[in-house]
Amino acid sequence: MIKKIGILASYNGSGFETIQKAIIEKKLNAKVVVVITNNTNAKVLEKAEFYNIPYFIINDKRYPGQDIDDKIARLLSEFGCDYIFLSGYMKKIESKLLTAFPNKIINTHPALLPSIYGGVGMYGRFVHEAIIKNGEKKSGVTIHYIDEVYDEGEIILTKELEIVQNETVDSLENKIKELESIAIIEAFQKLLV
């Protein structure tokens, strides 16, 4: 049976695109059924439109005074999502969503968890800058479930890489992005069996 995936994204949705391409190439037996963003200018909207996937913009500006997380949870339920993937979603996942989808909300983090490179404020380039500054010998990608605390959910898988001499934030970021694509596909292959 084909599993249904919902995407939450705030910007480009590169992880969503990785999943969608893997589905098209028959590497994943799944279907992305809905894309939700909190950003009216997110590039992920163009990608969802390109792939003909229903998309929604849900934020406080559009729905003032309404329970945004409840709205998102209901929408994901309506679309029958088996898993939710956070593709650069920059809003904290609250208890309503966690309760509605226990161990079904998946995130990718651009470092090896658990470590000091997770938690509030540790995302994107901030992670790579800290790793380079601290002279770490390795970094990597962690795919994990979401829970109440940033970057502390159960780990699904990690992939690591060596940090070479004269590594820059840009070079590390590019390597991590490549590794992340591989990790996302492997994690979903593991989950979708």
Annotated catalytic residue 128? no
Residue pointed to by tokens 């380039």: 125
Exposure pattern of 106-139 as b/e (b: 16+ CB <10 Å)? Answer: bbbbbbbbebebbeeebbeeebbebbbeeebeeb
Q: How many Cα atoms within 13 Å fall on the side-chain side of residue 13? A: 30
Is residue 88 within 8 Å of 46, Cβ to Cβ?
A: no
Sheet arrangement for strand 3-9: 55-57, 30-37, 3-9, 83-87, 105-109, 138-145, 155-162
Q: Which of 14, 19, 83, 109 is catalytic?
A: 109
Is residue 4 within 8 Å of 85, Cβ to Cβ?
A: no
From the list 81, 87, 84, the residue with the least C-alpha distance to 10 is: 87
Catalytic residues: 109
